[in-house]
Amino acid sequence: MARDTAADVASILAAGNLELRVGTNLFLGPTLEDDDATVPDVSCFVLQTGGDPPQGYLGGRKTYRTVTCQVRVRSARESFRAGQSLALAALDVLHLANAAPYVLMEVDEGSPNYIGTDGSDRHWWTFTVNASFVDSGG
């Protein structure tokens, strides 16, 4: 069964009391990152980026999959500390989240990586989420 892990990660963030709302300031994919007209300065983006090779599970009848998603947080140019706080809070919400059907959701980074500013001087942070689940192949 194919899973839309990026959508699942976005749903967890939206439920995490971070004032993130899908379609308002929380988006799937990178397509809106530079859209100043409709995307607020303080925004979060989730993009499914790959994962580990599938592993046989229970004698090969099922598959253990780990999918990776990149989470990017953007803040206004005057709000470095607020953006950093949001990125840290998002990491905390996702790391070890109880998110069935995922058997493990984890972030292998101690804190979000600050990656600098964009052309509008907005600050950016990023981190990667690993989401593992058992796929029955059905």
Mean pLDDT of residues grouped by 10 in the chain (138 residues)?
88 97 91 70 94 80 92 94 97 96 95 93 96 83
Domain that holds residue 123: 5-135
pLDDT score recorded for residue 15: 97
For the chain, what is the domain count? Answer: 1
CATH of the domain at 84: 3.30.2000.10
Residues 6+ apart with CB under 8 A from 92: none
- DSSP letter at 76? -
- State the pLDDT at residue 57: 78
DSSP conformation class of 34? T
> pTM of the prediction?
0.90
Q: What is the DSSP letter of 22?
A: B
Beta bridge partners of 55: 64
